[in-house]
Structure 1
Amino acid sequence: MKRLLFIVIASLLLIPSFAIATSGESESDEPSSTQGEGSYSEKHEVIYATLDAGGEQDAMYVVNQFNVTESGEMVDFGPYESVQNLTNLEEMSLNSDEVTFSATEDQFYYQGNLNGMPLPWTFDVGYTLDGEEVDANDILGEDGQLQIEIETNANDDVDPVFYDNYLLQISLTLDSEIYNQIEAEDGTIASAGKNKQVTFTVMPGEDEHFIVEANVSDFEFDGVEISALPASMSVDQPETGEMKDEMSSLSDGIAEVHDGVGDLQDGVSEMNDGIIELHDGSFEYLDGMRELDDGSSDLIEGSLAIDDALRQMSAGFDADHEMDFSEIEELSQGLKEIADGLYEIEGGLSELRGNYQEALEALDNAIEAIPSGELDEEDIEGVYASGADRDVVDQLVETYEAALQAKGTYDAVSEAFNVVDPVLSELEHSIHDIASNLDMIADELAGSIDDMDFIDDLAQLQEGLNEISSQYGEFHAGLIEYTDGVGELSESYSDIHDGIGELSEGTAELEDGVHELHDGTGELAEETSNLPDQMQEEIDEMMNDFDHSDFDPVSFVSERNEAIETVQFVIQTESITMEDDDDEEIVEEEDKGIWERFLDLFR
């Protein structure tokens, strides 16, 4: 097909030359068609640039193509060092940055050579062999583990219109006889005959860094090929209806979580208030227990004195003993004092019992305020997934577990608390009965001193005192057990009270944490209330990054050029091959004919 194309083109080139010659002989007086002002519908620019092996810019030229609509003289602009007609043998005029030429064909080509004009991108190509950075010229023919790094960046000295709107395609052709075990993390590796082709893509407005790794034997490299074209990819708008419905459900779910956290905050606040009341009542109960424990020794001593007095009184009544009525009066008075002391103990026990009931009721209400329901792992994970502070949630979960443990512990030991009140009540009534009996005996003794017949009743009195003394001994033994129990209860309850204090601190922190959580879920709910629209805006913004349909091409060489249809960049780094060391015959462009220059376009 190439050969056939060349034959057809050659024929087309030869035929017009004969026609022009014939026309020139017969119509020499006619004005030339290029003498008038010509025009074109669109212009295309292809910028060819060569880089050295490290990516430094070397040479650059531009092939300009015009779709001619009217033959004649035309003007183009560019800071060219020289220009060359690629269409015919007519001379072109270069004056400063203004190029003047005559175009007769439908397609007109000319080449403009540039010197020092920078590309819109900078390229850096580095080579590493066996882990050491090396110069490209020093690794020809070497073996080892090769790494080629390619870095692209924006050139701040050039109008960013090309950097922001052009897609770069970077290709490396690697001979399979030289390279094996090729790896390119961000690239595509494809077979191209016996070679492997590695391709990277750089999106508009992006800087990139690529790495190609391979085992190399007898290193040679054809260089890096880079092409730059407008990013005209057609990207369809994704279907987001179902996704938006899911986002709406998520937004509603977050709002429900916020409402649930609000209810949790109210419940925790009530629980914290109850725990505070519990702590206050527990303190009063503990204080009463300590006072009772502190008074146990006095109670034991007083009871022991009563026991001794009763024993002495019982022993003092002897049928053969001559009664001293003054001793009876002292006995009556002593019994009165003992009865009064027992009445005071009864009052103290009554007050202790009331305080204990109040404290127990406060404790029971506070424990009852702790929710009995348990959160499963899914509920807890839902709170973590809500976006709340993880440390706060950890503290909430820890306090929640401690509250459940406290509730379980109380439920387990509540029976022990309930036994205390009946014991106190029974002790209170027992002491009251003893005090009443002693008071009654004292009254009877005091009232019977003047009654001479009371002597007949002394045996009965002695019998009653013996019985009271015997029963009081049993009571005194029980009182000792009771005071021992009060001491143990006081000591044990001190630990319970400390635990209630820690629980109170924990629920206070829990309330603060839930408050922060509620604020966080409130912000989250507010920010996600319009989640579907926010998602659509993000999608539209992302799509705009890929949509460059509104890009209007501009000339790379001069802003004065008009009707720019396309601008392309073809960039090539120099190859590193064995032929590079040979002296090659250099053919000067000026020596090429029109046919050779035309064929160069297809090579």
Structure 2
Amino acid sequence: MMMRKRIFLLLMTFVLILPSFLVHASSNENTKEEETVKNPGQYRSKDEVVYATLSPAGVQQEIYVVNIFEVLKEGKLVDYGPYTSLKNLTDLSDIQFKNKKVEFAAPKGKFYYQGNMKDEALPWNIRIAYRLDGKRISPAELAGKEGHFQLDIYTSANEKVDPTFYENYLLQVTLTLDPDIYSNIKASEDGMVANAGKNKQITYTVMPEKDGELSLEADVVNFELQGIEIAAVPSSMSIDAPDIDGMTGDMESLTDAIAQINNGVGDLKNGVSELNNGVASLRDGSAQFKKGMNDVNQASSQLVEGSSAINNGLATVSSSIKGNFEQIDLGELEKLQARLPEIAAGLDEAAEGFAYLRENYSDAYGKIEEAMKNIPEYEITNADIEQLYASGADREVVDQLFATYSAAHQAKDIFDSAKEAFQAVDGRLAEVNGAIVEIEKTLGTVQQVISALENVNVVDSITQLQEGMDEFSASYQAFHSGLVGYTQGVGKLSSSYNKLHSGIVDLSGGTNELEDGVGQLNNGTQTLYDSTNNLPDQMKDEIDRMISEYDKSDFEAVSFVSDKNEKINSVQFVIKTESILLEEQETPEKPEEESKGFWARLKELFS
């Protein structure tokens, strides 16, 4: 009992002495603070962590900033911000605030203070929409519901705030889902699903200078949703350029191959141009040859008729000479003598016609042969055609190219197969022309014989004449038969050559179209080459551009609360929406015990 009284007395003494001690300590602390305020402090850097809460729909509700200083020298520091209230998170010293200017005494080391703000906007507009079974629903109606749930989150730049944060910060949006509530979870392509304990955690990333469109679908029962967390940090990572030497080497090989294709198509264009010019010459020579053949064919009927008249006349003369010489009417010989010069003139004209025909035929044949020789001998294979297809050339132009190439070689093969027949025509023309000349000479001889009858023995002369006319008539009859056969051959040759000439004209049109098509093909390959010539360098430039777009390693942090603040090391944003939870059932509160005074509690302590 005595011991209890002693303890009680000591306790009372402590209680009485404590207030004066506290007052003295407080006085010493205030004195120390006054001395600190007089001395300016120094800090190495400042960090800002911006905390904001949003409604489930994304409406901003509360925002405050925790300012962190790394103090090098104890003393007075100054900061700025549009705060409505301040709170010292380091010690119990006061913080002075006036006209957005903050003053405080900071000890060496880390110093923290919180500044609350009102109506200060975040650098991002955030909008959150909810759907249940495909219909829009407000967050307040969602708690406890079940069905197919869809969540859409939209982020964009807030143009009322310094764009530095939107342009250099990436957003990381995180949702935590209870598997007892959520099943068949499907996140949009930019969402990453991971396990976080028993829960599923879905994380989305929105790159700097990009608007976000994030979505999530799931089947839900007894719906609840923990607050959505959104962190915003500088995208200050450095991006190294990838090793693309192998890729650029492949690109250079591709460029070289395209250059070879372009050069090959250029050579093809020149060859086709030469082919087209040769076929054009062939067409012109063929047209002249065709005209000559038609002229000969049209004159053949007149030639046969004239030769037939000569043949009949010779037969008549030969038969008239036979029989009684005394009955021979020399007057008929005089008529024959008068007709022979006309016949000789006709044969001479025919000989000139055949000579002209042979000359034109030989010239036209030479041009056709030369044009056929100008058709290139190279061979275009299916592999060449497939390579042209693969180069991106117009398939219709390539098909025209191959069709014209085939037609040209077919015409050349036909000409080669008929070459001997064409060469034989020139010999036959020479033979016919020689026969006509011989007949003309024979007629001259006959005329001379008839003229000499006036001074010779008629009977002897008639006998010689009869023999000569018989021989001449027989020879001419054979010649006439050959002439008829020849004219028939000329008719067939003319008809066949008309078809050949039509084919040559079509060939000329085809090579002309081919030249145009190959010209277009060459333009296309040239454009392709020009577009891909610098492809490796273009690819490197594009990669450098993309890297520079996302590489924010040179970003220098700025203060979110005031542009007067200096030595900013980092600024981070921690944003969270309110949770959507079921209301808990109220439980009856226990009646509070009657409050007891200090002396009563002190007495109970020692009782």
Shift of 1:559: 0.9
Matched with 2:502 is: 495
C-alpha contact (below 8 Å) 1:333/1:442 kept by paired residues? no
Q: Distance in 2 between matches of 1:369 and 1:222?
A: 86
Q: Distance in 1 between matches of 2:163 and 2:586?
A: 40
Q: Distance in 2 between matches of 1:201 and 1:553?
A: 21
Deviations 1:497-533 (A, max 9, x none): 33133124224414633553475366347x52xx554
Matched with 1:425 is: 427
Q: Distance in 2 between matches of 1:268 and 1:291?
A: 34
Q: Distance in 1 between matches of 2:132 and 2:379?
A: 63
Matched with 1:188 is: 192
Q: Distance in 2 between matches of 1:464 and 1:29?
A: 164
Correspondence for 1:275 among 273, 279, 284:
279
Shift of 1:440: 0.8
Q: Distance in 1 between matches of 2:416 and 2:30?
A: 129
Matched with 2:62 is: 59
Q: Distance in 2 between matches of 1:208 and 1:240?
A: 31
Correspondence for 2:103 among 100, 103, 111:
100
State the secondary structure of the residue aligned to 1:109: strand
Are 1:331 and 2:331 an aligned pair? no
Matched with 1:546 is: 550
Are 1:224 and 2:228 an aligned pair? yes
Q: 1:295 to 1:524 in 2, by over 3 A?
A: farther
Amino acid at match of 1:520: T
Matched with 2:237 is: 233
Matched with 2:8 is: none
Q: Distance in 2 between matches of 1:372 and 1:239?
A: 48
Amino acid at match of 1:24: A
Q: Distance in 2 between matches of 1:212 and 1:501?
A: 68
State the secondary structure of the residue aligned to 1:450: helix
Structure 1 gaps of 5+ residues are: 1-16, 584-603
Q: How does 1:252-331 map to 2 (within 5 A)?
A: 252-320=256-324, 322-331=327-336
State the secondary structure of the residue aligned to 1:59: strand
Shift of 1:281: 2.0
Shift of 1:163: 1.8
Matched with 1:567 is: 571
Q: How does 1:448-487 map to 2 (within 5 A)?
A: 448-451=450-453, 452=458, 453-468=460-475, 470-487=477-494
Amino acid at match of 2:427: S
C-alpha contact (below 8 Å) 1:38/1:72 kept by paired residues? yes
Q: How does 1:382-531 map to 2 (within 5 A)?
A: 390-391=393-394, 394-396=396-398, 398-451=400-453, 452=458, 453-468=460-475, 470-510=477-517, 512-513=519-520, 516-517=523-524, 519-520=526-527, 523-524=530-531, 527-528=533-534
Larger deviation, residues 139-148 vs 548-557: 139-148
Q: Distance in 1 between matches of 2:128 and 2:345?
A: 109
Are 1:203 and 2:204 an aligned pair? no
Correspondence for 1:176 among 155, 174, 179:
179
Amino acid at match of 1:326: G
C-alpha contact (below 8 Å) 2:76/2:105 kept by paired residues? yes
Q: 1:360 to 1:115 in 2, by over 3 A?
A: farther
Amino acid at match of 2:178: D
Correspondence for 1:120 among 103, 113, 123:
123
Q: Distance in 2 between matches of 1:318 and 1:569?
A: 140
Shift of 1:426: 0.9
Matched with 1:6 is: none
Are 1:47 and 2:50 an aligned pair? yes
Larger deviation, residues 45-54 vs 551-560: 45-54
State the secondary structure of the residue aligned to 1:548: coil
Q: 1:325 to 1:160 in 2, by over 3 A?
A: farther
State the secondary structure of the residue aligned to 1:31: helix
Amino acid at match of 2:333: I
Q: Distance in 1 between matches of 2:191 and 2:487?
A: 91
Deviations 1:154-206 (A, max 9, x none): 23332222222212222222332333332332322222233322222222222
Q: 1:309 to 1:173 in 2, by over 3 A?
A: farther
Amino acid at match of 2:443: I
Amino acid at match of 1:373: Y
Q: Distance in 2 between matches of 1:474 and 1:465?
A: 14
Are 1:85 and 2:84 an aligned pair? no
Shift of 1:419: 0.8
Matched with 1:4 is: none
Deviations 1:360-403 (A, max 9, x none): 4434444443433334565556556667xx44x74255224412
C-alpha contact (below 8 Å) 1:336/1:439 kept by paired residues? no
Matched with 2:15 is: none
Matched with 1:31 is: 32
Q: Distance in 1 between matches of 2:476 and 2:484?
A: 12
State the secondary structure of the residue aligned to 2:377: coil
Q: Distance in 1 between matches of 2:355 and 2:145?
A: 104
Shift of 1:564: 1.0
Q: 1:419 to 1:379 in 2, by over 3 A?
A: closer
Are 1:111 and 2:114 an aligned pair? yes
Q: 1:315 to 1:379 in 2, by over 3 A?
A: same
Shift of 1:427: 4.0
Deviations 1:445-482 (A, max 9, x none): 44334333321124313432442354145324413521
Matched with 2:378 is: 373
Q: Distance in 2 between matches of 1:259 and 1:42?
A: 65
C-alpha contact (below 8 Å) 1:272/1:511 kept by paired residues? no
Identity of aligned residues (%): 37
Q: Distance in 2 between matches of 1:259 and 1:79?
A: 71
C-alpha contact (below 8 Å) 1:151/1:208 kept by paired residues? yes
Task: Give the CA RMSD over aligned residues.
Answer: 3.6
Q: 1:582 to 1:327 in 2, by over 3 A?
A: farther
C-alpha contact (below 8 Å) 1:553/1:564 kept by paired residues? yes
Amino acid at match of 1:411: D
Q: 1:489 to 1:70 in 2, by over 3 A?
A: same
Larger deviation, residues 559-568 vs 260-269: 260-269
C-alpha contact (below 8 Å) 2:286/2:501 kept by paired residues? no
Q: Distance in 1 between matches of 2:307 and 2:144?
A: 113
Q: 1:78 to 1:448 in 2, by over 3 A?
A: same
Give the structure-2-normalised TM-score.
0.80
Shift of 1:555: 0.7
State the secondary structure of the residue aligned to 2:46: strand
Matched with 1:167 is: 170
Q: 1:29 to 1:287 in 2, by over 3 A?
A: closer
Q: Which of these two proteins has the greater Rg computed from alpha carbons? A: 2
Shift of 1:490: 4.0
Aligned residue pairs, count? 560
